Structure 1
Amino acid sequence: MTLIKISTIYFVMGILLGYYMSIVHDYALTPVHVHINLLGWTALTLAGILYHLFPQLAASKLGKIHFWLHNIGLPLMMAGLFLMITLQLESLTPVIAGGATLTTAGILFFALNVWVHLKEEEAA
């Protein structure tokens, strides 16, 4: 349930950012908007639903690793990307890359978790 609650924060952020961009007719922050909606709202909601339906996924070490990597990496990546675009600071590229690496690793742990811990009879 925690992932689903966190995902709603990303949903509100993504929608508000999209709304802001449409009001000011400046779409420079589109990459931030898209990543917040996809990796924050959509991905975390779906993971949260799977973790709720199959509690053994959430309880596993892989589930906990996914939770933390995703929830540390994504805000780091989004903050870095937002600041790089708004302040035109290419020096923030390593921050974005670090956040992206953590998020990607988290998603890989999520996929591994599903493949290892989700049993055929439980999914039926």
Structure 2
Amino acid sequence: MKLNHINIRANMELLDAVKQFYCDAFGLKEGYRPKVTRKGYWLYSDDAALIHLEESRDALQAARHGHLDHVAFESTNVKSLIDRLNCMNVSYRSSYIEDLHLTQLFVFDPVGNKIEINFPGEKLE
């Protein structure tokens, strides 16, 4: 099993901010999206549409939480991502798991979703 995509629903103003965040912070690119009934975007990493953004007039309210804690991605070049996040004034938390030789960054997107990015074989100095 592997991650196919995540879907984020919000009004278009928020979706535009979410799209900009994922493109600027993680280098995703807006790409092909089939014709569907609602407006939105598909954001790609290489040839995979990892994040679907969908317009919703009845998007989940902040007071209504589900059980999803976070979404995790794997990437490379942790220092480059940290530079981009700093330029964007986005706060992050880092951790290192010695046994796995794995650096992790944790950030929140503009609608409050927690994102974990794993960097196997990389360690911050």
TM bin (shorter chain): under 0.3
Q: Give the structure-2-normalised TM-score.
A: 0.28
Q: Give the structure-1-normalised TM-score.
A: 0.28
Structure number with larger C-alpha Rg: 1
Structure having the larger proportion of residues in helix:
1
